[in-house]
Amino acid sequence: MGAWGTKLFENDITCDIQDAYKKFLQDKLSNQEAYDKTLEMFHECIGDEDDEPLFWYALADTQWTMGRLMPSVKAKTMEWINKGGGITLWSDGAYSTEWKMTLEKLKAKLEKPLPPERKIRKPATIKQNLWNTGDVYAYRFHTEESKKYDVFEKYMLIQKIGEGHEYWAESNSEPIMQVHVFDKLFDLMPVLEDINGVRLLPLDYPNDSDNLIMNRLAKIWSKKDYPAKHLTYIGNTFIPATKIFKRHSGEYFDWKYIEPHCGKYYKYWQNNEYKAIEEGVFRYVSNEF
């Protein structure tokens, strides 16, 4: 699970569940149908000690906000809250305290009277496929948050390597850009030749399978999230086959959270190694962090 904070929707799982449930409602499914589809999509969470509580927390919070909280979902969520579900994800004392506060806020919210049902509106279509395959852009870190990871005002290079679809999307829907990032930061605006000999930045941490995520779908959730003024086109170049991860992970390169996500990856991997086992499979080697 990718997490960047201890609030309820500061991890990949809860964000994905919220987005999926809302999308099913936007597709004019009934609340029961949206629930059934969401449960089916995330069935692997059920029975998992770490992931299952996150499923119920995200669904209950979103259903309550939409004025559609189902009694069975509330009961299951309260059961997990009372057991402290998800606490094992936060081994650090300070983080575990913050997570407990998040659960207390969720519990208090669910105990309030249910608000009226919100009207469901289909969101405006956002163009997702903005670059040509092979395009390389320089992104400049600029937020206060980037200072935490020593990347403030530095440039990183992002390249479009292909296109893909969300796993619930129709095959004829607009594809989403698939990108990878180069594992080098620049103090001055880089040029295209600066990618030569530079390894890719894993958009991941070592996990149970040791297979690393080397690229993601570059999802734009809202037009304001795409940082156009902080991106500079560098050029277009061939992508060697050994640089391409053949299958995308199903997770996103989220433009909205590009700075905390990539900042953490840069800080972590500058002292760690990985190697290519075969085309599309990369493995963690050592940890000196």
pLDDT digits (tens, 9 = 90+) for 212-270: 888 889 988 888 899 999 999 999 998 876 666 545 556 788 898 899 999 999 998 98
Question: What is the greatest pairwise CA distance in the chain?
Answer: 60
Q: State the pLDDT at residue 77.
A: 96
Q: Is residue 29 scored above 80 in pLDDT?
A: yes
Q: Is residue 175 scored above 50 in pLDDT?
A: yes
Encoded tokens for 211: 């297979």
Q: Is residue 122 scored above 90 in pLDDT?
A: no
How far apart CA 246 and CA 136 sit, in angstroms, is: 19
Q: State the pLDDT at residue 272.
A: 86
Average the pLDDT over each of 66-75, 79-88, 224-233 and give the range with the smallest value: 79-88
- Pairwise pLDDT comparison (86 vs 137), residue with the higher score: 137
Query: How are strands ordered across the β-sheet holding 155-164?
Result: 216-217, 176-181, 155-164, 135-140, 231-236
Under 8 Å CB-to-CB from 60, ≥6 apart: which residues? 69, 73, 74, 76, 77, 106, 110
Rg (CA), the chain: 20
What is the number of other CB atoms lying within 10 angstroms of the CB of residue 108? Answer: 9
